[in-house]
Amino acid sequence: SREQPLAGKSLVITAGPTRESLDPVRFISNHSSGKMGFAIAQQALALGAKVTLVAGPVNLPTPVGASRINVESADQMLEAVMSQVANSDIFIATAAVADYRASDIADNKIKKNADTLTLTFVKNPDILKTVAGLPNPPFCVGFAAESQNVEAYAQKKLADKKLDMIAANDITRAGLGFNSDANALHVFWKDGSVELPPQPKTELALALLNLINERYQLQHS
């Protein structure tokens, strides 16, 4: 219907940071609050979609009606996503996934004996690329958090990860992006782009979902 354009559609959305353990008490992570991904989940539900929200450690209530899976690490996020994505129509990767994890998680608390400490990191799996590379993938939407060359890097991720759409945010813009209530997005697909100006993440989420639905319908018509 007009009011519920996503009725009958299954969405899987990742949100928040991941946390990569160094030892039993420490981890590396980032400033993602989950607000962007949770706003998308909430608006998708309002548009009639069935929503699975795979969330890293965040302090946000579950949007009413969403099915939520809590994870910590990138490996756990990948596993949760892969368990849910098979029959989904649209996958939206809002999460700020740690690109690397410690090559070994120390069994005991690392002691401060030495004056310098060197840790070795290994690359985490790319969740979005894994999903987009499935034989019969859902419509895949990535995010790109960039501090320079926003358009060029976003276009490169769109192509490299074989995405249907990518939403880039310039994280150098004050008051937008990580851990704020507002954001702005430059959205790209194969043969077009649109700029969504700074606005509350809840409103931006709706504008993005309308764009996604438009491109999705065109692809499936």
Task: Please work out the total of residues on this chain that contact ligand PMT, with binding judged by CB under 6 A.
Answer: 28
What is the phi/psi pair of residue 176, to 5°?
Answer: -125, 165
Nearest to 95 by CA among 175, 50, 36: 36
How far, in Å, CA of 15 to CA of 95, rounded? 4
Report in angstroms how near the CB of residue 221 gets to ligand PMT at its nearest: 26
Count other Cβ atoms within 10 Å, centred on residue 83.
Answer: 12
Residue with structure tokens 């991904």?
37
Q: Which is nearer to ligand PMT, 6 or 177 (CB)?
A: 177
Residue 30: active-site member: yes
Q: Which is nearer to ligand PMT, 138 or 177 (CB)?
A: 177
127 binds ligand PMT (CB under 6 A): yes
Largest Cα–Cα distance in the chain?
65
126 is in an annotated binding site: yes
Residue with structure tokens 């499936």?
220
How far, in Å, CA of 168 to CA of 183, rounded? 10
107 is in an annotated binding site: no
Q: Which is nearer to ligand PMT, 34 or 138 (CB)?
A: 34
What is the phi/psi pair of residue 42, to 5°?
Answer: -65, -45
Report in angstroms how near the CB of residue 2 gets to ligand PMT at its nearest: 28
Residues at the contact surface with ligand PMT, assessed by CB under 6 A: 14, 16, 32-36, 74, 93-97, 99, 124, 126-128, 142-145, 157, 169, 177-179, 183
Kindly list the catalytic residues. 30
Binding-site residues from annotation = 99, 109, 125-128, 143, 157, 161
Binding-site residues from annotation for CTP = 99, 109, 125-128, 143, 157, 161
